[in-house]
Every structure is written in structure tokens, then in C-alpha cells.
Structure 1
């Protein structure tokens, strides 16, 4: 049987425990706080990140350095894998994908396949786990890549922040827009465009319940259902809110398969404490 390595990074919402359980290589992005860089999940935990946000700090994230990726890929090259399949978040949201491509060319690793998922968060985790399962079952590289392409052609991602504080601090929303939203007591619902190019506003509502209804209405338009889809609900220190969303989704989508995970730091740094992502993906 061929020996494949499946790789993803921490924008996938995968943690070290899940990666070890499934035998997936996890590459950390970095969280930058007050000029100091921490490798995600290695030098800084989600709990510490939450504390920094509560203290009013404005963390940012950065892609893995070229040197770090070079070090990793040189090691993988020595291990003589038949194929290495690397899943990254959308290339429009991070330079990680381009970095892997560049190092692949520099090292002449023709057995490396760098997949631009056009996504961020749990759908990448989902695809990486399924790719590893298929690899273990003896599937070909092409069959795995076809599966991933189908998954990422049929996904949809929402993010709704509990407050606009972090988006305002990080410059992702103007102070005027944030103040108007606060004055009018409306909550924004954001989404990742289908081509993975940008996170944009989807709509506004006055209550969290109506925000969730906007999500459910869109999923119904996309024919999301319990037979063909799975819903991931990710949160930044807001398990209770995620569980409420899960209950609604199960009630309205015939007990659809839902999984709650922690939001990756790249989204928590921008969305802030309490934010929740709701994402649909195909079950293949």
C-alpha cells in the first residue's frame, strides 16, 4: 500500500490531539501579540489567547515562515513518502498556500500536492480527516484530490461575532460602522464568499435568534440536509452559544450531523471572544 502524508495547518481548527489521533501532520501559524510571535497551539493555547483578548490586547496572525516550512518539507522529503497532500486555507486569506508551493519547487518535490481549499476553519479539518481515511483505505492520490475538490465546491461558511470590539480594533470594520451598529442594536452576520476570496457581510439582525435564522434560511437554499451534509459549529470561548446553534440545526435539519470545535486562532483574533462560525460541508 502506498504511503501518503496528509498535512494541514492550524487555520483548519484541528488541534494537536485530533492530529495525533488521525495521524495528520499539523503546521502551526503564528499569533503575534505586542510584537512577540507565538506558534499556534505550541507556544500559546486558545485559553491564553482568550485571556489576552479579555485584557484588551489586539493579537494578529501570520503565516508560517518560509524557513519553518523549508525545515518541515526537507524532513518529509527524507522520509520518502509516495505522496504528500497539503490542505491550506484559501490562498486569498493567507500566503501559506503560496509558501508551500514555493518550497515545493525549490526542493523539487514532485510528489507534493498543495490543495487550496478556498475555505478556512472546520471544513479543512473535515477534508484532512477524510483524506487520511481514504489514504489508509488505499485510495489513489487522484481519487483523494477529486474528493477534496467536490467537498470544497460544496461548502458554506458563516461567522457571527458577539461584539464588534475586536473587528473594530483590528481595523476589519470602521469605527463609524461599529458605532452605528451598536447604536442601532444590530448584529452583523459575516460569510466567506464561495470563491474563498474575502469575508464579507451577509446581513444584519437585532437578535441572535434572527442571525441563526438567516443562516438556516441560506442552508435551506443550498439544499443542506442530513443525508448529504455535516454542520460544524466553531466557537471562541462560547460553548453555550455553540450548543444553542447545534440544537436549532438538529431540530430544523432532521437531526443533521453536527460537531462543535474551538474556533481557530486566525478567526478568533479577528472575530473576538464569543464569536461563532457555522459551516456546512458535504459528507463524502
Structure 2
């Protein structure tokens, strides 16, 4: 009997030691109502973060301005953003680090009655977007590749850009999904997308304290994130679409997911080419005073 008790005790100890030690302090992540948030939301709602031994707290934001204000106030530890935001934060002494890419595809759309059906027809026209972020970078890159110029109409408001395009207040707009698909359903003209032009600049950012002091937790975050990507690719939206509304997604998100042709991708590194191009672009736009130090601004160790 004593031998049995000893063996049972050893078995319990070994089993306990194999479970990941959970840091009870959550990593606070800010999301936006865009497809990039889906793996994070699914990993949270389906218990994948917990299963991998990391505590995550999600704060949904309606726009990048709210997200940035929360980051400045120290209210979030990580966020869905873009490379230029990472560079800008670093330039301002806010040590957020680019740790991976995100699922993204920015669509360029023309207003219903503009008569515009090709990208080059935006030449000399107003395009509503948020200056200094990925939306403007995408538009600039496309304009350069297709040899036309356009006028920036600064409009941070999601509803303002959405409703303004449908009422023909301006010629074009840049949106991600699901908003882009909703605009097309309401008569907007799809002209092209960032993926068609090979442009990719969205990213996940985490505070340097998380990257350096909680590196194991960050690896667990990405393990759960990638598990959620597999779940998204293997299951219809009916399995989880009801969960998305509390993260500020419209009800139409489920239809977009089910009609999405490309699979969701696991977290990967942002290419060196895009890092360099956005570095040059950010300085030219006056977002940063000097080129970003990529040794400080980028760290892909958690996904390797």
C-alpha cells in the first residue's frame, strides 16, 4: 500500500509539473472591428488562451484613435495596429514592438454614382481615409504603382466614411472587412485591394515589457492564436458569429467570413521589404523624426 501511495504521489507531481505555470496578470489586448481581430477573439471565447496557459483581457475599440489613447494611458499591453503605428510609438518614447503580421486586406472602393470603375480614375479625386496609418500607405502605394495622384480627405470616423461614400460626398474610400463588403452590397464599386498589389503593413504590437519579461506568455499567446486560425478555417461562422457583436462587429460579419475565398493565415513576420518601405514612408510623412531603429521596433521571436 505504501508503494502505491508513493507512486500515486509521484504521478500527481509529474502531471502538475507538466502544466504551464499561469501568470495571473492578464495581457491586455486592444482590438478593432476588423477581420484581424478574429483569431484573438476566437482564442479567447473558445478557451484556447486558457488552455495554453496565458491570461488575456480583450478591450474592443471602435477606431484607432481610441486605441492609441488607451495605449498612451497605459491601459493596454498589446493591440491590433500597423507597422507605422509601431514606429510612431517608438519615436514618441512608447516602447511598443512589432511582433507579427495580421490577417488583413484593405479594399479601395468608389462611390455608387461616381462613374469610377478603375483605380486610375481616382486621379485627382478625393479619397477618404485616416492619414498616417495603413489606409494612407496602401493608397499611396497603389497610386504610385498605377501612376496617378489623389487628394486625401482626412476622415477618422468609420460611420462618416461609410455613409459619406454611399451618399457620393467623395469619390473613394479605403476600408477593411467587413465594412468593405457591406459597402459593395449597398452599391459601392470595388476597385481593388491591398492583397492584389502585394501590400501588407498591418501588425500586432506588444509593449516591450511583455516582449522581454513575459516572452513565454507571448509564445503561448501565438500558439493559441494559430490554433484559433485553424478553427476559423475549419468551422462555419454559425459556430461563433453570435460572439462577435460584443466586440463591435456588425451582424454581416458572418456572411463575409463564409464567403471569404482565402484562408485565414497563421502569424508570420512582416517582410523586411515592407518594414523598410514603411520606415521610409513614415519619415516622409513626418510621422517620425528619424528612421526607426528596427532592433528596438521589431521582434519576431515569439512566432519563430
What is the TM-score normalised by the length of structure 1?
0.30
1 or 2, which has the higher helix percentage? 2
More strand by share: 1
Instruction: Tell which structure's C-alpha radius of gyration is larger.
Output: 2
Report 1 or 2 for greater relative contact order, CA contacts < 8 Å, sequence distance ≥ 6. 2
